[in-house]
Amino acid sequence: MIDPTGLVQILLLEQVVHKIPPGNINLARTGIATQDSDYTASAVPSEARLAIDGNRNSDFNQKSCSHTGGNEPAWWRLELKKKSKISVVVIAIRSDCCMDRFKGAELRIGNSQDATVNPICGKVSAVKGSNYLFCCDGMEGKYISVVIPDRHEFLSLCEVEVYAKPIEGTHCK
């Protein structure tokens, strides 16, 4: 399912990941992650940093996914080490439950900590599966945010990968 702007692809992560060459560094790994709140109703850890720990496991119970507490808007934000031009963002959401919660999520890139003033790279118009690829075509910014606007919602991200260079086999520039 591709959204009307053609910017969001839903894919089998395996189809893309093996095409990422060693020189295409995942910038997320050296960033700092924050979110609107942590989910505290479970003993499973939920901190924002779990979405950039290098582990794509999408079962929340395996302790490698972020999870917010259910605010409006729900948001997760990555601060990159420095302002960067972004080609591709690959996101794995929680897959053991509740994938519909991701509907309407926006990926925004820019230089404001307030994601709502940063430009949108892509919006998830329909949820299908747990892996999403956003083509951001060189959008520049220090902050990369995932926002679910307009409703109280939980946001659970199991891995967010950020690449400055395109990935072969995608339509991203």
Using CB under 5 A as the criterion, which residues of the chain lie in contact with Ca ion when the complex forms? Answer: 53, 55, 64, 158-159
Spatial neighbors of 47 by CB under 8 A, at least 6 apart, are 33, 35, 38, 66
Q: Which is nearer to Ca ion, 153 or 159 (CB)?
A: 159
Position of tokens 């692809």? 9
Q: Which is nearer to Ca ion, 94 or 101 (CB)?
A: 94
Measured from the CB of residue 61, what is the shortest distance to Ca ion in angstroms? Answer: 13
Measured from the CB of residue 158, what is the shortest distance to Ca ion in angstroms? Answer: 5
Q: Which is nearer to Ca ion, 133 or 158 (CB)?
A: 158
Q: Which two tokens stand for residue 26?
A: 């995942």
Measured from the CB of residue 154, what is the shortest distance to Ca ion in angstroms? Answer: 16
> Is 94 in contact with 67 (CB distance < 8 Å)?
yes
Q: Which is nearer to Ca ion, 120 or 157 (CB)?
A: 157
Q: Which is nearer to Ca ion, 3 or 99 (CB)?
A: 99
Measured from the CB of residue 150, what is the shortest distance to Ca ion in angstroms? Answer: 27
Measured from the CB of residue 138, what is the shortest distance to Ca ion in angstroms? Answer: 26
- Output the residue with the shortest Cβ distance to Ca ion: 64
